Amino acid sequence: MDAIDRAILRELQKDGRISNQDLADRVGLSPSPCLRRVKTLEASGVIAGYRADLSAKALGLPITVFVELGLDRHTNETTKLVEDSIRAIANVLECHVLAGDADYLLKIAIGSLEEYESLIRSEIRSIPSVASVRTSFAYANVKEHAPLPVGTSGRRK
């Protein structure tokens, strides 16, 4: 991947609906080679897909909750059951496996505290082997959906 590929990736992260002509203009290529590079980046898996960025608040999901789950068992069968159960819960936006005190960290979008209580009682606590649930509510968002740093060590200059 060279500097032009990295420029393409930065531009696509800013605007995934940009036309090929505009993208080519921004990165200093003609349209045909630009499109070839985009197709190559897609085929190689660097570009994993395109999606619309929706407003949770506009969809009636104004509350963001982070939930740490602890398990009482860690067998392959248990973790598969837990992870399959979590994948099936629509309000769970992200699920990360952790090293440390908790086993999983969930990011949940929800409409109200009452809906959150219901979700915990009926869906999260009903997952076999979930031994602990620790909740943190986000009251502000400082940075969300940031583009991945392309061609850096993770630091922005």
Distance CA 145, CA 47 (A): 16
Domains and CATH numbers, the chain: 3-43 (1.10.10.10), 63-138 (3.30.70.920)
pLDDT at position 7 is 97
pLDDT at position 152 is 64
Predicted model pTM: 0.85
User: Mean pLDDT score of the chain, rounded to an integer?
Assistant: 94
pLDDT at position 156 is 44
Distance CA 72, CA 127 (A): 11
124-146 residue pLDDT tens: 999 999 999 999 999 999 998 88
- Is 11 exposed, middle or buried (CB count within 10 Å of its CB: 0-12, 13-18, 19+)? buried
Backbone angles phi, psi at 34, to 5 degrees: -65, -45
CA dihedral 110, 51, 9, 142 (to 10 degrees): -20
pLDDT at position 151 is 80
Please give the radius of gyration of the chain, using alpha carbons only, rounded to the nearest integer. 20
State CA 128 to chain mean position distance: 25
pLDDT at position 146 is 87
Distance CA 84, CA 86 (A): 5
DSSP letters of 6-32? HHHHHHHHH-TT--HHHHHHHHT--HH
Divide the 157 residues of the chain into consecutive groups of 10 and give the mean pLDDT of each group: 95 96 97 98 96 94 98 95 97 97 97 97 95 96 90 54
